[in-house]
Amino acid sequence: MYPSLYYAFKDLLGIDLPFLKMIQMFGFFVALAFLAAAYFWTKELKRKEDEGLLSAGTTKTLKGQKATSSELFFAGLVGFLIGYKLLYIVFNFSAFTENTQGFLLSTDGNLLGGILVAALSVYLKYKEKEKMKLAVPVWVEESVHPHQLVGNMTLIAALTGLLGAKIFHNLENWDTFVADPVGALLSFDGLTMYGGLILASITLIIYGRKNNIPTPHLIDSAAPSLMIGYAIGRIGCHLSGDGDWGIDNLAPKPSWLNWAPDWLWSYDYPHNVVNYGEPIANCDAERYCNHLVPPVFPTPFYETLMCIFLFLILWNLRKRITTPGVLFSLYLIF
């Protein structure tokens, strides 16, 4: 297993790049999942608009206004947070690569770096607004096409999906949450997919309505994207060994699977990222030296194959099904 890209590059290519330790394998594939989902979502929204099923909305924007206090404050706040962490990372890079998540979520940082980057951010925002300032600010009405909102909707889905997944996981594991509330909330371990889907769906429907996107068409356009996103995300689960695997499997591999590698039937997830199982003999790695005993079904790999197949079905049916809401219903059934 490859807890981070560092271990994958070292094992597969023989390249030792310590800075890759900060890119977690699961997080990397989650990012790829969102990018792929956004790509197909954009294509589908464009198609629906071309066919007259969706139309562009309008929004009014005030042009030529000088920088407001809230804009400068927000620019300074973001700049401070970036600088506070960035300079601290520069001087403690080795520790950062070893525990990226803990490093970012800690309160440790460099105050001077935060102040300098905050000041720079405020200055750049001020200069940007000054260049566009008009003697008399004017309201301009602009067209906004549904596919142009995919970036915003993807960000909303990512944030609310993570929040919903974390909330539902803690509700399902209440005793663990009560024992360590702060650790349970800040940890990226333990996410319930359905919680993320429910909360993200609610917020996206509200956002879509505010932007005049009919809910049935919005959810239909998202159905194939959700399926391919889940498929790619499960690759990250499998490669990192995040604990979301199948049940124990000590059964012998069937003869009809003789053509396949043994891990496709039963796998012990060596060097899994959650350090679950028993120690691996003669393991010389600094971390991640456990494997599962007994081995289990590699369920994430099965789900990846299944969801790619289901994505192709949904993508093929999207033009044939004309009743709004049916395609998303099929996604839920799948």
Alpha-carbon torsion 164, 167, 170, 172, what sign? negative
The model's pLDDT over 42-53, given as tens digits with 9 standing for 90+, comes to 999 999 999 999
The model's pLDDT over 116-148, given as tens digits with 9 standing for 90+, comes to 999 999 999 999 999 988 888 898 888 899 999
Q: Mean per-residue pLDDT for 32-60?
A: 93
> Residue 185: its pLDDT value, please?
66
User: Apex CA 196: angle with CA 193 and CA 198, to 5°?
Assistant: 110
The model's pLDDT over 197-247, given as tens digits with 9 standing for 90+, comes to 889 889 999 999 999 899 999 999 999 999 999 999 999 999 999 888 999
The model's pLDDT over 313-332, given as tens digits with 9 standing for 90+, comes to 999 999 999 999 999 999 99
Indicate if the pLDDT at residue 113 is higher than 80: yes
CB-based contact 231:261 (threshold 8 Å)? no
The model's pLDDT over 223-234, given as tens digits with 9 standing for 90+, comes to 999 999 999 999
> Residue 45: its pLDDT value, please?
96
Indicate if the pLDDT at residue 61 is higher than 90: no
Indicate if the pLDDT at residue 184 is higher than 70: no
pTM of the prediction? 0.84
Q: Per-domain residue ranges for the chain?
A: 5-54+214-333, 66-133
